[in-house]
Amino acid sequence: MHSSLTEHARCLFGDEYRPKSECGLEHDWRYFVEELTFADAESILTMLRTLCPNVVDGLLPVWARNLAYRLVLLQRPDEPALLREAALNLWLHGPDWDDVAADLERQADALGAGPTGA
């Protein structure tokens, strides 16, 4: 078993910033999805911010990023900054998700955060 969700993702998908782990465990993306599904918001955000610190980079597949942000927002739906972070991820990996990104930004606005200027 990997020590964290981040380490599991790093072993499975690689990391632009550190060498890929050689842990000797069986790697199957289905086990990663299972671990991600039940991870707490902080573990998921740590993975995203460690493996994709500049949003447009990282080797984490877009489907994994989208799922990760969706799961975080289900756990923490009332955080405008987090809604905007998820929207930015979708804007950069669209245009299929542009309508969802716009909706996330509207939700952030409705929570009183206002635009970030980013």
At 74-85, the pLDDT tens digits run 999 999 999 999
- pLDDT at 114 exceeding the cut of 60: no
CA-based torsion, 14, 63, 1, 42: positive or negative: positive
Confidence band, pLDDT 50/70/90 cuts, at residue 100: very high
- pLDDT at 2 exceeding the cut of 50: yes
Quickly tell me which residue has 């069986």 as its tokens: 26
Which backbone phi and psi does 65 adopt, to 5 degrees? -65, -45
Contact at 8 Å (CB) between 50 and 16? no
**Cα three-residue angle 102-13-62, rounded to 5 degrees:** 15
The whole-model pTM stands at 0.86
At 31-66, the pLDDT tens digits run 899 999 999 999 999 999 999 888 778 889 999 999
How many other CB atoms are there within 10 angstroms of residue 79's CB atom? 17
